Amino acid sequence: MNPRPPTTPPFPDGANAEPVLEIAGLAYAYPDGHRALSGVDLRIGRGERVALLGPNGAGKTTLVLHLNGIIEAVAGSVRVGGLAVEKANLAEIRRRVGVVFQDPDDQLFMGTVRADVAFGPRNLGVRGAELETRVMQALDQVGMADFADRPPHHLSFGQRRRVAVATVLAMEPEILVLDEPSSNLDPASRRELADVLRALDVTVLMVTHDLPYALELCPRAVVLGEGRVVVDGPTVDVLTDEASMRAHRLELPVGFDPRVVRPNG
């Protein structure tokens, strides 16, 4: 498989399903003139799990910050569930797009796990019994219900990462965006998080350098290079195309062969 130009229609499953995320011609340059994105096109269908791959500096984080309007699109557009990401819709957009940031200490800032998970839904105006239900449901989904009254800084790193996922699930998002979900996790926590993510019934976009993790969890992979989508296809194909992998500075761990691993996504 050769690197597909960004104009190629995306992976068939994504094109046929009702799109949750539609990015068209998205471009962005930082105030200092550095171009981070130069025409990103991407459609993600409901229920898909997509890995967003690419070397450092490819623009992955910039793209993520466009998805919920933290950075405003200069050129091109982002639509979530048909709704354009723009100032007037920001509250609804931020409900629809749940971003889990890389450092759980940035995401968990309240005194207890419960209060932290309640933060998002409270901002949406949810109160009382419904709030409590949502919080406990979200914590249940990540297997952290027993820790509701603990302060976040007393949890292990893996537990904090899972609580960070719960803080976003409590907002009942249409798409879950994870920035480096497996970074700094020990192998057991990494597997536990994978179990949690697999069990979720939600569209997932996962930014990662952890290619085996992408293969394990995401049937589809998108490679971002120099600010645009340069490869889009089934994760196994993407990871086994050696020429394209080399061209985009992607490397598998030594001895890892995607063809002999059975992805259970």
Partner 1 sequence: MGAAHGHLFHFHAHSPLHRAPAHLKLLALLAFTLTVVATPRGLWWAYAGYALVLASVIALSRVPARYLAPRMLVETPFVVFALLMPVLGHGPFVEIAGLTLSEPGIEAGAALITKGTLGVLASLTFAATTTSTQIIDALARLRVPSLLVEIMSFMLRYLEVVLTEYGRMLIAMRSRGCEPRNPRHWPALARSLGALFIRCYERGERVHVAMLSRGYTGAQSGRMPS
Q: How far is the CB of 94 from partner 1 (least distance, A)?
A: 5
Q: How far is the CB of 17 from partner 1 (least distance, A)?
A: 25
Q: How far is the CB of 148 from partner 1 (least distance, A)?
A: 10
Residue closest to 102 by CA, chosen among 160, 181, 197: 181
The residue among 92 and 237 lying less far from partner 1, judged by its C-beta, is 92
The residue among 68 and 235 lying less far from partner 1, judged by its C-beta, is 68
Residues within the interface to partner 1 (CB under 8 A): 65, 68, 70, 91, 94-95, 97-99, 101, 103, 105-107, 109-112, 114-115, 118-120, 122-124, 149, 151-154, 167-168, 171
Helix (DSSP H) and strand (DSSP E) numbers for the chain: 11, 10
The token pair at 44 is 């993600």
The residue among 17 and 65 lying less far from partner 1, judged by its C-beta, is 65
The token pair at 227 is 């600010």
Distance CA 174, CA 74 (A): 24
Q: How far is the CB of 90 from partner 1 (least distance, A)?
A: 9
Q: How far is the CB of 123 from partner 1 (least distance, A)?
A: 4
Helix intervals (H) in the chain: 12-16, 60-67, 90-96, 104-107, 113-123, 128-141, 157-169, 187-199, 211-217, 235-240, 242-247
Neighbours of 23 (CB within 10 A): 24
The residue among 68 and 208 lying less far from partner 1, judged by its C-beta, is 68
Q: How far is the CB of 31 from partner 1 (least distance, A)?
A: 15
Distance CA 21, CA 74 (A): 18
The residue among 77 and 119 lying less far from partner 1, judged by its C-beta, is 119
Residue closest to 6 by CA, chosen among 225, 230, 220: 230
The residue among 66 and 228 lying less far from partner 1, judged by its C-beta, is 66
